[in-house]
Amino acid sequence: MDETFNEAPDVQEDAGQEQASVDAIEIAERSAEPQAAMDDPQLKAILEAIIYVTDEPLSAQQIAAALERPLDVVMRLLNELTAEYAAPERGLSIREVAGGYKMATKAEHHEAVRAFVKKLTPPLRLSLAALETLAVVAYKQPVTAPEIMDIRGVQGAGVLKTLLDRKLISEAGRKKVVGQPILYKTTKDFLVQFGLKDLRELPTLKEFEELGRMAVAEQEELPLTAEGEAAPASEEASAENA
């Protein structure tokens, strides 16, 4: 009798632990289900971004493997994205191309897009001379042409004219000294072209030096002329000593 009485609490304790384990598993499963559903919008956004930034079509298998997500979930969300982009109010589409998914403009908008692109102004390209001059104006403004020449050590009237034509700099009155030379400053177009909120966001001088080295590298990669010299990168290069 004593033995039986001593074993009963152990049996009851084991049963209680087993029930507690079952309850814990059920709670964990219930908690996991809403979390999985909450992940879908974020994963769909990631899929959209991946398709947007890649040039080559990506298969669902490639995407699922890279993101380490179940293939069936990725396929379902890709199908949802494809359907959403098929709506007439969307200008882009997500299509299966060459065994993968790719984002592109819709065929019905090709003519309008082509006409728009033809009207765009050419991309801004500045020679090293123009970039140096623009940097001097940006950091020393308002500044005169003789002051720019003293800093750069070369004549640069042609480059100043180019920057004025591009509306990257403008006249800012005259300096009250002998001869009253024209003062120059940067413009709103300068801020727009370089993606700056204001002049306080100007890059450091070290970053400007890096831009200069990149310009030199581009100049070295240009094709040679008949005389064996590199062709000018832009109109500013030929105007540097004008």
In order of their start, the domains of the chain are 2-116 (1.10.10.10), 128-239 (1.10.10.10)
Structure tokens at 123: 């991309």
Is residue 179 within 8 Å of 193, Cβ to Cβ? no
Pairing of strands 169-174, 182-186: antiparallel
Q: How far apart are CA 186 and CA 171, in angstroms?
A: 9
Could you give the CA distance from residue 171 to residue 192 in angstroms, rounded to a whole number?
18
Q: How far apart are CA 123 and CA 218, in angstroms?
A: 15
Q: Are 103 and 92 in contact (CB under 8 A)?
A: yes
At 208 the pLDDT is 64
Residue 213 identity (one-letter amino acid): R
For 48-62, write each residue's pLDDT tens digit.
999 888 878 888 999
Tokens describing residue 140: 């020393």
Predicted model pTM:
0.44
In the block, tokens 């494809």 appear at 82
Percent of residues, the chain, with pLDDT higher than 70: 67
Residue 12: partners with Cβ closer than 8 Å, 6 or more residues away: none
Give the model confidence (pLDDT) of 175-222 as tens digits.
998 889 999 999 988 888 877 888 888 877 676 667 666 666 655 555
Mean pLDDT, 10 residues at a time, over the chain (242 residues)? 46 48 43 49 90 86 90 91 89 83 86 81 76 89 91 81 91 90 91 81 71 62 46 46 44
